[in-house]
Amino acid sequence: MTHAPIDPHDVLDVPPERLPRHIAVIMDGNGRWASQKGWPRVRGHEQGAKTVRTVVTQCAKLGIEALTLYSFSTENWKRPADEIQFLMGLYVRYLVAERDTIMDNNVCFRHVGRREGLPESVLTEMDKTTEMSRENTGLTLCLALNYGARDELVDAVRAIARTVKDGTLNPEEIDEALVSASLYTSGIPDPDLLIRTAGERRISNFLLWQISYAEIHVTETLWPEFTEADLNDAIRDFARRERRFGKVITS
């Protein structure tokens, strides 16, 4: 069943023009949440997947243009092998189980990150979800999986260098717009709001180019406990801020 959009002013007391177009989230605290309860870390990842559904659905209903979730970084391959194996299986189950939610909410799914190194089972289900939601016109959901911002910039530079080498681009023509268009997030507006859960205050190699002017909202709430109300609070916090982009605001 398709969920009807909601008026952000009614829910948040925020006019639509004050909403962030793109929200990026560093989902932190799954393992900590499970450990606090005396459970295996994987229980935290399972609960965190349920939070993803809540946040995706709310963003879609509010009319947010894009949502990028930092799910698995290139550094996360250093984790224990059994945890990685569980996470990859969880991605497969999530991609299959959430297709109805994606389609019901008119969500367009997109992967950002390197495909190399991901299991074939993950790539297969990811491609299926991408293809089936390609024509959806609502929220663009970017799953940052096997993602690292420095890797993204390296890949962009390599792509640009190849066009210079084959003679179709002059180095003097390289500008910010070209670099942005060469990133994994090409065609998506840069994040206006970056949310990090679990109280951590670092960027962790996430969207380094794209978040140049993003407003940062840090919450002590662990990701498995992050609710619709927490998301609404983050958006209200964003809406109250005065974004200057290097300019001086005169009254």
Mean local confidence (pLDDT), 114-139:
98
pLDDT score, position 24: 98
pLDDT score, position 242: 86
The domain locations on the chain are 19-240
Helix axes 120-132, 81-97, angle to 10 degrees: 20
DSSP bridge pairs for 68: 24, 142
* Catalytic residue list contains 28: yes
Long-range (24+ apart) CB contacts under 8 A made by 91-96 are: 91/122, 91/125, 91/126, 91/145, 92/121, 92/122, 92/125, 94/49, 94/52, 95/122, 95/125, 95/126, 95/128, 95/129, 96/125
* Catalytic residue list contains 76: yes
pLDDT band at 108 (very low <50, low <70, confident <90, very high): very high
Q: Which of 7, 10, 30, 76 is catalytic?
A: 76
Query: What are the pLDDT digits (tens) for 3-33?
Result: 556 777 678 989 999 999 999 999 999 999 9
Mean local confidence (pLDDT), 130-136:
98
**Sign of CA pseudo-dihedral 172, 173, 177, 181:** negative
pLDDT band at 251 (very low <50, low <70, confident <90, very high): low
**What is the maximum alpha-carbon separation in the chain?**
60
pLDDT score, position 8: 75
Q: Which of 13, 28, 106, 136 is catalytic?
A: 28
Query: What are the pLDDT digits (tens) for 65-97?
Result: 999 999 999 999 999 999 999 999 999 999 999
Alpha carbons 192 and 68: distance in angstroms, whole number: 11
User: Does residue 1 carry a pLDDT above 60?
Assistant: no
Query: What is 19-240's CATH topology?
Result: Undecaprenyl pyrophosphate synthetase (3.40.1180)
pTM of the model: 0.94
User: Does residue 248 carry a pLDDT above 90?
Assistant: no
pLDDT score, position 116: 97
Query: What are the pLDDT digits (tens) for 143-201?
Result: 999 999 999 999 999 999 999 999 999 999 999 999 999 999 999 999 999 999 999 99
